[in-house]
């Protein structure tokens, strides 16, 4: 079985606090990484947390550490793929398509948006 959400997909947060209440619901971003063992995804600009790193020095003598803002993983069930046609969240399906290349016909499994039927 293929994965429904992959690295590079445009997804939208469908649960959690609204943006008016300081949350991320309704925001869209690109998937940076998929953690299959914990069913989480890292989305660009979503679930940003402040991380305090211990002060130190590099070999050149420059100071490191301080407060930095990084993205934290979000559960895969809380995001949905964005339909390329309508720009709204949609479910993902799989279908078999026949592709002809150099006179050879192959059947390929393709992900598609259930709302519009367009291939992802």
Q: Which domain holds residue 97?
A: 90-119
- Asked if residue 102 and residue 43 are part of one domain, the reply reads no
Q: Nearest Cα to 26, choosing from 41, 45, 7? A: 45
pLDDT digits (tens, 9 = 90+) for 80-106: 999 888 889 999 899 988 888 888 888
Domain assignment of residue 65, yes or no: yes
Pairing state of beta strands 10-13 and 28-35? antiparallel
Total domains in the fold of the chain: 2
The predicted pLDDT at position 13 comes to 93
CA angle 31, 37, 42 (to 5 degrees): 20
- Asked if residue 94 and residue 75 are part of one domain, the reply reads no
User: What CATH number corresponds to the domain at position 26?
Assistant: 2.30.30.30
- Asked if residue 74 and residue 37 are part of one domain, the reply reads yes
pLDDT digits (tens, 9 = 90+) for 13-34: 999 888 899 888 999 999 999 9
- Asked if residue 33 and residue 73 are part of one domain, the reply reads yes
Whether the full predicted model's pTM is greater than 0.75, yes or no, is yes
């Amino acid at each position: 079985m293929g994965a429904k959400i992959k690295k590079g997909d445009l997804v939208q947060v469908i649960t959690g606090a609204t943006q008016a209440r300081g949350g991320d619901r309704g925001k869209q971003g690109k998937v940076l990484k998929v953690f299959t063992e914990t069913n989480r995804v890292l989305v660009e600009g979503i679930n940003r947390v402040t991380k305090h790193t211990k002060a130190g020095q590099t070999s050149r003598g420059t100071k490191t550490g301080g407060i930095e803002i990084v993205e934290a993983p979000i559960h895969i069930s809380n995001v949905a793929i964005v339909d390329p046609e309508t720009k709204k969240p949609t479910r993902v399906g799989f279908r078999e398509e026949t592709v002809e290349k150099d006179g050879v016909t192959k059947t390929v499994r393709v992900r598609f948006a259930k709302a519009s039927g367009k291939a992802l």
